Amino acid sequence: MKERTLSIIKPDCVSAHNAGKVIDILESNGFSIIAMKKIHLTKKQAEGFYIVHKERPFYDSLTTFMSEGPVVVMVLEKDNAIADYRELMGATNPKDAKEGTLREQFATDIERNAVHGSDSKESADFEIGYFFSALELV
């Protein structure tokens, strides 16, 4: 069944000029881009997006990183999109990411790890709604 997930190309990956390579890999792996925008988040907007991590020790550092420069945000669609995109991203820590995954190719460390992807249907619904209105998702 077709499913949608939210992808973010993080500031480290955008500033390294690797956004196009990531998009190419996504399309080659069967993901359709339903909506896409490039935006520079404020610290408050990054905090709102990562609100579930509010109590984690890396929350301040993570949200500072996510607001240091522009990101590319996309809604991706394919059968089993949420799990398949998590698989394509690779482990959170690039040291543990399998060869050929996005994080193995483009991440620097556990925080500056190039890409974000929703981890469940509930997260995907919240995250897609955080960035895109219904009109942008037709």
Active site residue 116: yes
CB nearer to ligand GDP: give 31 or 101.
101
Query: Which of 84, 99, 71 lies closest to 26 in space, CA to CA?
Result: 84
Could you say whether residue 23 binds ligand GDP (CB under 6 A)? Answer: no
Q: Sketch the per residue contact string, 58 through 77, with ligand GDP: x for CB under 6 A, - otherwise.
A: x--xx---------------
Residues numbered 96 to 125 that lie near ligand GDP (CB under 6 A) are 110-111, 113, 116, 119
Residues that bind ligand GDP (CB under 6 A): 58, 61-62, 92, 110-111, 113, 116, 119
